[in-house]
Amino acid sequence: MKPIPDFRSKDFLLAHMREIMDFYHPICLNEEDGGYYNEYRDDGFITDRKTQHLVSTTRFIFNYATAAVLFERPDFAEAAAHGVRYLDEVHRDPEHGGYYWLMRGRDAVDATKHCYGHAFVLLAYATAMKAGIPGTGARVSQTWDLLENRFWEPDRELYKDEVSRDWGATSPYRGQNANMHMTEAMLAAYEATGEIRYLDRAETLARRICVELAANTQDVVWEHYRQDWSVDWDYNKDDPKHLFRPYGYQPGHMTEWTKLLLILERYRPQDWLLPKALLLYETALAKSADLEFGGMHYSYGPEGKLYDLDKYHWVHCETIAAAAALAGRTGRERYWQDYDRLWRYSWRHLIDHEYGCWFRILSPDGVKQSDIKSPSGKTDYHPFGACYEILRVLGEAQ
């Protein structure tokens, strides 16, 4: 294993981001169908050359557009534009509007319209706009309009989750995850455009999820709701490892919210933001910390019982970013200590020092669960984005 570096240093963070980009670039570029190859073995071997998920497409655009600016790489900007073209021309539904969830080559195999996916569409366009990708500014505005017309529920001040291709049928499921990522996307859209409506919406979503709904769920963020936004305590209780909607409280989402609340506070200071960010962070670590093997468990129930003890890469990435954000905001060294401790765990267990990037999931005692490092949806967006946000906390990126 490589020597443990200074995790707080600009040089380390930039080098780690370069290593992530080196794993995927340029082999991820799908020159036959457009877009990007989505699935990779540990050594970078592409195991699926046809499936393209909306979340993968948009996250690759985010990574490339961010890296294009940070590293001043025109080839990364072109790779982002390559993904934008696929998003515009293939994922986009020419008949009904919106974006298909899952493609095989250039054919839609799941045309469902998911708010979660559309949040990443907005994030991708906003990040591409920051990188100067032509036409993406108009797409940011058009995506806002689409979200207002098709997903926004004004009486609830939240977004619904899932709608059929023709917008005729809406799932009764409601969830916080899509609204959390919509908050992330709205903050990015505000940074890209300066338009206040995006910041207003981010604040509304944060208040609704983290304060008003959380008042009924032990003051922290619960995942699953019914159509009327009443709490669904049993959703997927028999499927705690569901990829997008696992059962229970998600400590990783609590710390992700910590990060987002502190980004929101930069632009719109409110007296509730820091206390709520602290509560979510402290609860997440108290409930998930593995005192035997280190790192963080994945989920727990309302009674405090752990339901999924595995170690997911994204949970550690988001918590590292949240710890840095709290350290920068409060000046308290204990958050930097959390930051260093979680980085050390990740360095020893989650990061692949042979081929690069992060293993997706480990057993409680730190054994990787698969040789598929990056299935559809991963793209190492979480570690890449976490490093970028830490650089912003350190004043080393905009």
Domain harbouring 251, CATH code: 1.50.10.10
Contact 2, 353 (CB under 8 A): yes
pLDDT in tens, 17-45: 999 999 999 999 999 999 999 999 999 99
107 Cβ contact list (under 8 Å, min separation 6): none
Long-range contacts of 136-145 (CB under 8 A, 24+ apart): 136/84, 137/192, 137/193, 139/84, 139/88, 140/189, 140/192, 140/193, 141/193, 143/118, 144/189, 144/197, 144/198
The per-residue pLDDT for 240 is 85
CB atoms within 10 A of CB 213: 21
Quickly list H helices, 289-365.
313-330, 333-345
Residue 14 CB neighbours (<10 A) = 17
pLDDT of residue 204: 98
Q: Which residues are catalytic?
A: 253, 382
Q: Name the nearest CA neighbour of 66 among 54, 53, 77, 81.
A: 77
- Quote the DSSP letter at residue 121: H
3 within some domain: no
Q: Is 342 within the bounds of a domain?
A: yes
pLDDT on residue 241? 85
Residue 255 domain flag: yes
**Whole-angstrom Cα distance, residue 66 to residue 14?**
12
> Domain of 92?
10-393
Say how many domains are in the chain.
Answer: 1
CA 356 to chain centre: 20
In a domain, 283, yes or no: yes
Q: Which amino acid is at 53?
A: H
Residues 128 and 103 sit within 8 Å (Cβ to Cβ):
no
Residue 42 lies inside a defined structural domain of this protein = yes
Provide the 3-class DSSP secondary structure of residue 182.
helix
Place of tokens 């469902």: 112
What was the pLDDT predicted at 370?
95
Q: Which residue has the tokens 């046809």?
A: 50
CA–CA distance, 69 with 289 (Å, rounded to integer) = 36
Q: Supply 18's token pair.
A: 């370069």
Q: Please say whether the beta carbons of 259 and 238 come within 8 A.
A: no
Find the length of the chain: 398
pLDDT in tens, the chain (398 residues): 788 999 999 999 999 999 999 999 999 999 999 999 999 999 999 999 999 999 999 999 999 999 999 999 999 999 999 999 999 999 999 999 999 999 999 999 999 999 999 999 999 999 999 999 999 999 999 999 999 999 999 999 999 999 999 999 999 999 999 999 999 999 999 999 999 999 999 999 999 999 999 999 999 999 999 999 999 999 999 988 887 899 999 999 999 999 999 999 999 999 999 999 999 999 999 999 999 999 999 999 999 999 999 999 999 999 999 999 999 999 999 999 999 999 999 999 999 999 999 999 999 999 999 999 999 999 999 999 999 999 999 999 88
| Domain assignment of residue 2, yes or no | no
Residue 223 lies in a domain: yes
Q: Is 332 a member of any domain? A: yes
Assess contact for 115 and 151: CB atoms under 8 A.
yes
